[in-house]
Chain A
């Protein structure tokens, strides 16, 4: 006898449903059909409550406690000490003037701000350009869309391993550049000769800005496709006849872009901006595996500071980590409200 997978699946589906139906029917006859809504909501609320709301409240409490215990009852209240340690700084712009915890916190904060302010505009511009190009009348659009999206599917660890391999001192990028200079010098006339290429330690050279550059590049490489996809969907939702009408009026292409494409794409752009900004402030995985926050603290981000305060090393400073989380949450809240305000103003016009 042959078993078709679909039939087997349907049978399984039916059986599981029937098995669960027994207790559910009993509950229903007990509380009445219209109250079943609470039963359906219960699992979700339990998980939300236990793993989102409760931790959020707990976080505030932990921020005011000290010691190294994981058990709440064993954590002494220390008042504002944790915040004082993070905020007592002669100059916030120079983290080296702070204490140990403050140094780590402010370094992470400034690095994250720099990262977000460079990475987000860069990615939006490249994603928009790519979406515009894919929205043209090109062959094999599905293929190109898939190409750009593929890195989004890769895990942060895989992305970091690949780029670490490329960017090593004796990695492919240096080898390729060296070869390129060599080839150029072998064919170029004397006055155009270049100096011999000296391998750069892309991720380790502390005095150059390269580590931060590559962190931004790799992160953008990994996430571009996602935002490109959303923008492309937004572009394809713009009615074609608007362009046809503009064409008939003799409107130039660039004018069409500024007057039709961009205004109609604005709602999508705002979604992309909000999402990418929130994500950029929470950057951790790729950077942590790629550089470990190094060289020194050059690419150490906010979340890495929280993670390391709490979970790395002998001194598990849960209080400092929780206090940092509170400060980050405040920052994110201010940002979100700013964005909402800007969005509402835009929508109002």
Chain B
């Protein structure tokens, strides 16, 4: 069988005939980008249960290996276990007592009284797979000597901000969208234009006056100071108004005949019918608020009111050498978003593709 046959065999496809060279390029691109996109995140997940030592060494193995240790017979530090290869090729497990010159002083496991010397080259680490869940429990339960990562508190703050801001965003913007799409009044179009024009005011360039306003309202270091300024989004008003324009006016007229109040029409007819647009806005709002960084950074300065993002960035600043804790806390921070994404992936991608807004 020649080389040509091998290539033909490898490139054989079912049905569609041979793969065009551009198909090869396509799949090569996809595989390469899979590595660039997912490898860092996957690797972080896997590394978050590794021991500090294997993180420092950049242990390339997938599973969290750690060196086996045994308690010292004299009551000192735990002793590392090695596999010693004797001159005749047989092996024995030994515990490491200490160095002597180029040799190592060891004893066979179970016989701590007979310490002997072996060349270091004959020792290989005895390793076991042992996920280090303490990376997760120690910072969250506060049993590290250094700073703790109060996960439950941050998680609660983030959840409170996200849920409250999203609920308020939906109601406030739906009300405005309703007014701008189903009523005729003087200045309506100017109003709609003004609201959309606020898209052009980048929130980042009004940091100082916004800070002063929030501070004069007494909302510094309060979660409401993070929530309230964000709930009126031009994006939301625009999205909902455009959608509500498609709801036929006859429905409203019929309800008015039945003496329904305007509020009831809004709450019981318009909102249920606008559900597709509302759910897109809900998804966007959850994403925005959960990931917010700069505005909380300015409003919240005390750690009791930190959101997860603030907690993590502070933790990063203070514990940069304790990668094992930092990685675990990063996993905790991205886990909620990842779960939401896994379950709602279709809605999220199609919702964003249709509105073109983030």
Q: List the interface of chain A (C-beta within 8 A of B).
A: 17, 20-21, 24-25, 28, 33-38, 40-41, 43-45, 47-48, 50-56, 58-59, 62, 70-72, 129-130, 133, 136, 138, 142, 144-158, 160-166, 170-172, 175-176, 179, 221, 226, 229-230, 232-233, 271, 275, 278, 281-282, 284-285, 289, 303, 306-307, 310-311, 318, 321-322, 325, 328-329, 332-333, 336
Q: Mark B315-339, 1 if CB is under 8 A from A, else 0.
A: 0100000010011001001100110
**Do B209 and A56 have beta carbons less than 8 Å apart?**
yes
A161 CA to B48 CA in the complex, in Å?
Answer: 13
Least CB distance from B99 to A in Å reads: 24
Please measure, in the bound complex, the distance between the C-alpha atom of A344 and the C-alpha atom of B183, giving whole angstroms: 32
Size range of the chain B interface in the assembly: 35 or more
- The residue on B at minimum CB distance from A55 is B209
Contact between A152 and B358, CB atoms less than 8 A apart: yes
A72 proximity list for chain B (CB < 8 A)? 212
Known: A165-B323, A284-B294. A322 touches B333 (CB 8 A): no
Are B207 and A321 in contact (CB-based, < 8 A)? Answer: yes
Q: A161 — which chain B residues lie within 8 A by C-beta?
A: 312, 316, 326, 330
A47 touches B293 (CB 8 A): no
Q: List 6 A-B contacts (CB under 8 A).
A: A28-B262, A70-B215, A157-B312, A157-B313, A271-B356, A332-B202
| CB closest chain-B residue, reference A57 | B209
- State which of B212, B330, B354 has its C-beta within 8 Å of the C-beta of A62: B212
Task: Give the residue of B37, B313, B353 whose beta carbon is less than 8 angstroms from that of A147.
Answer: B37
Q: Is the Cβ of B30 less than 8 Å from the Cβ of A226?
A: no
Assess whether B209 is in contact with A59, with CB atoms less than 8 Å apart.
Answer: yes
Q: Does the CB pair B298–A332 fall under 8 Å? A: no
Residues of chain A with a CB closer than 8 A to B33's CB? 130, 147-148
CA distance A338 to B229 in the complex (A): 30
Query: Nearest Cβ in chain B — how far from A129, in angstroms?
Result: 8
Residues of chain B contacted by A306 (CB below 8 angstroms): 204-205, 207-208
Does the CB pair A229–B349 fall under 8 Å? yes
Given A36-B262, A157-B312, A145 contacting B200 (CB threshold 8 A):
no
Residue of A nearest to B312 (CB): A157
Q: How far is the CB of A238 from chain B (nearest CB, A)?
A: 14
Bound-complex Cα distance A56 to B201 (A): 8
Quick check: B337 and A153 within 8 Å, CB to CB? yes
Q: Which residues of B contact A336 (CB under 8 A)?
A: 200
Task: Among B37, B266, B323, find the residue whose CB has the most chain A CB atoms closer than 10 A.
Answer: B37
How far is the CB of A165 from the nearest CB of chain B, in Å? 6
Contacts of B207 in A (CB 8 A): 306-307, 310, 321, 325
B232: Cβ under 8 A from any A Cβ:
yes
| A329 to B206 Cα, complex, angstroms | 9
B211: chain A residues at CB < 8 Å are 70, 310-311
Q: A17-B268, A37-B185, A58-B213 are in contact. Are A155 and B290 (CB under 8 A)?
A: yes
The distance in angstroms between the C-alpha atoms of A329 and B323, with both chains bound, is 40
For residue B34, CB closer than 8 A to chain A, the reply is: yes
Chain B residues 235-294 with CB under 8 Å of chain A are: 237, 256, 261-264, 266-268, 287, 290-291, 293-294
- Cβ A146 vs Cβ B206 within 8 A: no
Chain A residues in 8 Å Cβ range of B29:
129-130, 133
One of A34, A44, A55, A158 near B210 (C-beta < 8 A): A55
**B26–A133 contact, CB under 8 A?**
yes
Q: Which residues of B contact A230 (CB under 8 A)?
A: 352-353, 356
Which residues on the B side are within 8 Å of A146 (C-beta)? 341, 345, 349
Which residue of B41, B208, B268, B338 has the most chain A CB atoms within 10 A of its CB atom? Answer: B208
Complex Cα distance, B326 from A258, in Å, reads 48
Residues of B within 8 A of A52 (CB): 198, 201, 206, 232
Contacts of A147 in B (CB 8 A): 33-34, 37-38
Q: For the complex, give the distance between the alpha carbons of A280 and B99 in Å.
A: 56
A277 to B337, CA, bound (A): 26
Given contacts A55-B209, A154-B334, A233-B354, contact A21 B56 (CB under 8 A): no
Q: Is the CB of B334 within 8 A of A155?
A: yes
B231 smallest CB distance to A (angstroms): 6
- Measured between beta carbons, the chain B residues less than 8 angstroms from A53 are 198
**Cα(A179)–Cα(B309), bound, Å:** 34
The answer for the CA separation of A103 and B276 in the assembled complex, in Å, is: 49
Contact partner, B175, options A43, A170, A175, Cβ 8 Å: A43
Q: Is the CB of A44 within 8 A of B204?
A: no
Would A58 and B212 be within 8 Å (CB), given that A158-B334, A166-B40 are in contact? yes
| Choice from B171, B213, B266, B337 contacting A55 with Cβ under 8 Å | B213
A269 to chain B, nearest CB (A): 12
CB distance from B247 to the nearest CB of A (A): 15
**Known A21-B267, A47-B228; contact A162-B330, beta-carbon cutoff 8 A:** yes
- Whether A171 pairs with B58 at a CB distance below 8 angstroms is yes
- A152 CA to B293 CA in the complex, in Å? 15
Tell whether B43 is near chain A: CB-to-CB under 8 Å: yes
Q: Which chain A positions have C-beta within 8 A of B183?
A: 34, 36-37, 40
6 pairs of A and B residues whose beta carbons are closest in the complex:
A24-B263, A37-B183, A55-B209, A58-B209, A47-B232, A155-B291
- Give the chain A neighbours of B214 by CB distance below 8 A: 51
Q: Does B172 contact A (CB under 8 A)?
A: yes
User: Chain B CB within 10 Å — which of A55, A72, A179 has the most?
Assistant: A55
Q: CB-CB < 8 A to A51: which residues of B?
A: 210, 213-214, 228-229, 232
Task: Bits for B129-171, please: 1 = Cβ < 8 Å to A, else 0.
Answer: 0000000000000000000000000000000000000000001
Interface centre among A40, A232, A311, A328 (most CB of B within 10 A): A40
